[in-house]
A and B are shown apart, each in its own frame.
Chain A
Amino acid sequence: MTAAGVTRRRRTRMPRGMPLLAALGAAFLVLPLVALVWRAPWGELAARLTDPTTLEALRLSLVSASTATALSVVLGVPLAWVLARAALPGLRVLRALVTVPLVLPPVVGGVALLLLLGRRGLAGQYLDAWFGVQIPFTTLAVVIAEAFVAMPFLVVSVEGALRGVDRRAEDAAATLGAGPWYVARRVTLPAVAPGLAAGTALTFARALGEFGATITFAGSLPGTTQTMPLAIYLAMQNDPAAAIALSLVLLATSATVLVALRERWVPAVRS
């Protein structure tokens, strides 16, 4: 009893009012989700979710978010590598520039993409004139918009992981006969795997939820550019029950990503 008393006294030595504020904070984050689940049209959920329009939006969302994530990994890992390792002047400026999309309102990102890749854009006009390629309002535009907004998450988390790698392990590998690419594949990448996994999950989640840049740069064409978030927004105008059903799907997907993130992250942190 004494021991428990001591423990309890120590646990409650917290600034007065802090637990109350913490409870408010938790409620603020959790209650909207509770409302979503509470008001879900459970009875007609199955019918709603097998609706061809919904399935089309879901398929498009998964395909474009996966592609954007793959693109982010392929380009983001080398970018993180250079940011973490290279000794170049102006590297700090570069780091600041490539992380701008993290804080930029996505709709501004969409406008910026249009100004680069739109039919009259800096690069887009030549794509159109020389190759007859028009990017805006295509599925490719969706992928580009999502990758633009989501890739910084991958870069930031992989760069952090790379900074934590003991370079002497790479030195040891080099003396064992491993060239730079071999060291990167067999030593460095495995060492940053937890960070890479976390970054990939965050990137995928962010790409899946992308709205502002997508609607600006790719529009909302059912079957081509209308991803789940766009479909939800449109459904909310005239069929709230459909919007709720679609939202549940995204919520479930996000929860899955979070679980995957924890399971791959937590054991790695322990070891």
Chain B
Amino acid sequence: MSLAARVAVRRETFALDVDLGVPDGGVVAVLGPNGAGKTTLLRALAGLSSVDEGRVEAGGTVWEDTASGRWLPPERRGVGLVFSDHLLFGHLTALQNVAFGPRARGVQREEARRRAQAWLDRLGIGDLAARRPSALSGGQAQRVALARALATEPAVLLLDEPLAALDASTRVEVRRALADVLGERRTVCLLVTHDPVDATLLADRVVVLEAGAVVQDGTPAELARAPRTGWTARLLGLNVYRGVADGTAVALDEGGRLVPAEAPVGAVVVTVAPGAIALHAEQPHGSPRNVWRTHVTTVEQAGSVVRVGLAGPPAALADLTSGAAAELGLAPGVEVWASVKANEVHAEPD
């Protein structure tokens, strides 16, 4: 179910020109400032807004080709679309919402209901099947929306900030459900997000859009290590680790330990902003709870800061001012001490 798309959209005040190829099962996070064209790109792929020039091919079927004049309407493309506000049909129950797609595609009522129930069960909300959307919490409704989009077995899943409207704890749950379904499917997924954690945990590739054009394209780690613009640097580069917490410290899966200000017990996701990591030539004394010795792998200028890659464990990105970087004589291979205060280390249940 690979996707190959070139989409050019020209409006009076705006132009979008994107070339994108995604292999089977690929999950691409689309990042970019507001107005960069992310939603326009998704709508064009879904056939909901017109493309001035381009070609979209998915799963071996040509959906659109402006050269030959071919155009498939949205209902005949295999796409699933999920918005940040779930947009469930208010007059239908959760089950009927999920069964809507199969029904619209001609599946018999009983079979459609059976599939819908299976999807709700799969997303852990099987017991809410009879509820109307108004009786669901935000996280529950978003899972129903996800089940609704998946129930048609789309070749391409388009997620427009699917977690943006959820509160922090619900976000973690829905993100995990999303990671599970994406992990086991061959569906291509485009995920528009503002959250670097979503991009890092869900996507195997990140595309950065600015002013309608792709400015950077690579794995989350590549982009974080060498962001091409200040905007990307601010957004990406958050150090994200998985680990197990014992109530005080977190043993990271990749090795090393970090002490957060507040540690839950059990599996956690730990985040540390690159700006919170300080580097020293000598072992530092005083308050930092987390100190480790490592060596520099990369040094990149990103906007006004220098982004330094550290080998670890834990491997990390640290942002320094140009002056500080020069003073330490940072270059790949140089040995340094890294430190971060406990209250800059955030752990939340995974």
Contacts and interface: CB of A to CB of B under 8 A. Distances in A.
A73 B312 CA distance: 71
A172 B90 contact: no
A193 interface: yes
Interface string B9-50: 000000000000000000000000000000000010011100
B75 A174 contact: yes
A71 interface: no
Interface string A177-188: 111001000110
Given A178-B100, A190-B89, A172 B75 contact: no
Nearest to B134: A271
B200 interface: no
A175 B83 contact: no
Interface residues of B, number: 27
A123 interface: no
Interface in A168-214: 168-169, 171-179, 182, 186-187, 190-191, 193
B105 interface: yes
Contacts of A191: 89-91
Contact of B75 (A178, A186, A187): A178
Contacts of A239: none
A64 B88 CA distance: 40
B74 A174 contact: yes
Main secondary structure of the interface of B (DSSP, over half): mixed
Interface residues of A, number: 19
A178 B79 CA distance: 12
Nearest to A193: B91
B162 interface: no
A179 B47 CA distance: 13
Interface of B: 43, 46-48, 73-77, 79-81, 83, 87, 89-91, 100-101, 104-105, 134, 148-149, 152, 154, 158
Interface of A: 166, 168-169, 171-179, 182, 186-187, 190-191, 193, 271
13 contacts: A168-B83, A169-B89, A171-B43, A173-B100, A175-B149, A175-B154, A175-B158, A176-B75, A176-B104, A178-B75, A179-B104, A187-B89, A191-B90
